[in-house]
Amino acid sequence: MDDRIGRLFPAGGPVPADLVIGRTGDIEEIVRRSREAIHTMLTGPRRIGKTTVCSAVCDQLRQDGTVVVDIEVPERTDAKDLLQLVVDRCNRISRSAATRGLLRVALPLIEQTLADQGIPLDLGQLATRPGSLPTRKILALPLALAEERDRPVVLFLDELQRAADYADGEQLLGDLVDLYSGSTKVVVLVDGSDERALDGMLDASAQFGKLVDRLILDPRISADIWRAGLTERFVQAGLELQPEALEKLIAFGEGRPYPTMTAARYAALGARKLGSATVEAFDVQMAIDEARRHLAEDNHA
Partner 1 sequence: MPETAQKAGNAEVLTGRIAEYQELLDVLDQRLGLTVISSDPWSGTSALLAAAIDELHGTRILVDARSCADSRDLATAIADTAIAQLAPDAAAWWAQAAPPSSAAGLRLARTLRQSGIDLEDLRSKAGPETGGHHLADAIELLLALADGDALLAIDHLGLMLSSLSDHETRELLGDFRAARQRHPHLDLVLVEHPDGPSSKALEDSSHPLYHAGQLIRIRRAKPSRFIDDLVITRSWTRARVELIGAAAELAASVPALTWRIIDLAPSRGEDDQTRALVGWRHLRETTASLTAREWDLLRRVHSSAQPVVATISVGLRPHAVAANPKSVNDALARLRELGLAWQPQPRTWALADPLLAAWARDHAPPWARRRGG
3-state helix, strand, coil in the chain (%, to 5): 55, 10, 35
Task: Give min distance, CB of 96 to partner 1, in A.
Answer: 7
Q: Which of 62, 92, 151, 210 binds partner 1 (CB under 8 A)?
A: 92
**134, 130, 98: which is closest to 119 by C-alpha?**
134
Task: Give min distance, CB of 124 to partner 1, in A.
Answer: 4
The bridge status of strand 186-192 relative to strand 40-43 is parallel
Q: Which of 158, 168, 175, 283 binds partner 1 (CB under 8 A)?
A: 158
Q: Which residues contact 5 (CB under 8 A, 6 or more apart)?
A: 237, 265, 268, 269, 272
Give SS3 for 41: strand
Edge-first strand order for the sheet with 153-158 is: 67-72, 153-158, 186-192, 40-43, 213-216
Q: Which of 204, 269, 281, 286 binds partner 1 (CB under 8 A)?
A: 269
Stretch that binds partner 1, among 9-17, 146-154, 179-187, 219-227 (CB under 8 A): 9-17
| Phi, psi of 114, deg, nearest 5 | -65, -40
Should residue 286 be labelled a site residue for partner 1 when binding is judged by CB under 8 A? no
Stretch that binds partner 1, among 33-41, 81-89, 141-149, 215-223 (CB under 8 A): 81-89
Task: Give min distance, CB of 301 to partner 1, in A.
Answer: 4
Under rule CB under 8 A, which residues in 54-73 are in contact with partner 1?
70, 72
Cα–Cα distance, 40 to 236 (Å, whole number): 34
Cα–Cα distance, 65 to 152 (Å, whole number): 8
Should residue 134 be labelled a site residue for partner 1 when binding is judged by CB under 8 A? no
Should residue 35 be labelled a site residue for partner 1 when binding is judged by CB under 8 A? no
- Binding residues for partner 1, rule: CB under 8 A, are 4-7, 10-16, 46-47, 51, 70, 72, 74-77, 80-81, 84, 88, 91-92, 95-96, 99, 122-124, 128, 158-159, 258, 265, 269, 272-273, 294, 297-298, 300-301
